[in-house]
Chains A and B, each alone.
Chain A
Amino acid sequence: MKNRRDGGGSDPIYGDRYDDRYHDRYEGSGGALEERSRRAFDDSVEALDAATLSRLNRARRTALAGDGGPRLASGWQPIATMAGAAAVAVLAVGLWLGQMPEEPVAERETVVAVAAEEAEDLEIVLQDENLDMLAELEFYDWVDSEEAFRSAPGGSGNIG
């Protein structure tokens, strides 16, 4: 990769915009702190070891091959995710009910807010997979049907 401190010329990432960006940045800042921190950062980037660079290379190739997108590993994964979310909801209600008795309205509202926050925290802790895929179930269903189609005798295998 081109070191940004090398100056002019086109950059593989930013193309001809590279010079403008470089110029604007230095014109806009120029403070010693910015310059020194940038130099330290660039040095640390250049010093990345071969194993790390190899991992980055593999990560990039995986991304470009489209092998790393969300997959339904099994039919149980979305069920387990939803069950976890349901358990969190039940726990939140339990926490809320457990702290409800004989408290003034203002305190109850505080308790509800705290319980909701705790439930959200627990959800984060329990959450191994994000729920993006739930928003695209229709698409995954379509993918499943396509895979079944491809694996069937006479099916086309043209999808990457």
Chain B
Amino acid sequence: MSRDAAGEAGVGAVALKRRWDSPRDGQWLCRERGAGALEQEQQLNAFLAGVERRALRIAEIGTGDRDEAMDLVQDAMIRLVRNYARRPESEWAPLFFRILTNRVRDSQRRRTVRNRVMSWFGGDGEDGRPDPVAEAPDPDTGAPDEQLEMRETMAVLETAIRALPARQQEAFMLRNFEGLDVAATAAAMGCSEGSVKTHYSRAVHALRARLGESWQ
């Protein structure tokens, strides 16, 4: 729409934006600072603040890299706000985790391909050596013994989870870590509830076999 046409019609940019959005339900968070929009933004803020830490850890377990996980979580937040802000609040959690798990899966695939391509050129994609800075304990948190035990426990668990097929990882983390029920997990994974139960059951059995008696 031309500037003149907008001026003549007396239609402001906000109205134009709303008109653009109207046939594309939920395309963009309405920027109008009315009471409804403000309330919606507060609800979104509360939702994202509530899930962001667990989402980061789930993405980190999936990717093995915190920085990458942070990028994926931010991307999922942006897409949720941009595309689904107007959907009912009850749908936000499965939508958010669907975006996130898709991103994690893309990342895993990209990493696999990148390593394969690097191997063509004689490298292994990653040097395989642990980063001593990344591996160093965080000096700010808790009693050393307790922290060490917690880190070791989580490291063992993360290694076992990463060895699972991607769909089993997703089912286990969404159900067990995020606490989504079967229906919400199915929505987040884009599959049937029966598939969720199958993936979850197989994940638990595989983890039991891998982690041994101390985890039974």
Query: Given A1-B53, A52-B56, A63-B77, are A43 and B154 also a contact pair (CB < 8 Å)?
Result: yes
Q: Which of B6, B116, B215 contacts A32 (CB 8 A)?
A: B215
A window 126-147: CB within 8 A of B: 139, 142, 145-146
Q: Is the CB of A59 within 8 A of B70?
A: yes
CA distance A150 to B13 in the complex (A): 8
Q: Mark A28-71, 1 if CB is under 8 A from B, else 0.
A: 01011110111011011101111011011001101110101100
B window 63-103: CB within 8 A of A: 66, 70, 73-75, 77-78, 80-82, 90, 93
Q: Is the CB of B44 within 8 A of A47?
A: no
Shortest CB distance A131–B (Å): 12
Q: Among A92-100, A108-116, A152-160, which stretch is in contact with chain B?
A: A152-160
Q: Which of B70, B113, B154 contacts A124 (CB 8 A)?
A: B113
Q: Is the CB of A49 within 8 A of B138?
A: yes
Interface bin, chain B = 35 or more
CA distance A160 to B38 in the complex (A): 13
Q: Is the CB of A21 within 8 A of B181?
A: yes
Report B-chain residues with C-beta under 8 Å of the C-beta of A125: 110, 113-114, 117
Q: Please give me the residue from chain A that is nearest to B197 by CB atom.
A: A28
Report A-chain residues with C-beta under 8 Å of the C-beta of B116: 121
Q: Is the CB of B74 within 8 A of A156?
A: no
Q: Is the CB of B12 within 8 A of A158?
A: yes
**Number of chain A residues close to chain B: CB under 8 A:** 60
Query: Given A21-B181, A69-B78, A125-B113, are A56 and B53 also a contact pair (CB < 8 Å)?
Result: yes
CA distance A154 to B8 in the complex (A): 13
Report B-chain residues with C-beta under 8 Å of the C-beta of A68: 74-75, 77-78
Question: Beyond A40-B153, A63-B81, A146-B13: 12 further Cβ-contacts under 8 Å?
Answer: A21-B180, A41-B154, A43-B154, A48-B57, A52-B56, A56-B52, A64-B45, A68-B75, A68-B78, A69-B82, A124-B113, A156-B13
**Between-chain CB contacts (< 8 Å), 13 pairs:** A17-B90, A45-B53, A47-B142, A60-B77, A62-B74, A62-B77, A62-B78, A63-B74, A63-B78, A121-B113, A125-B110, A159-B13, A159-B17
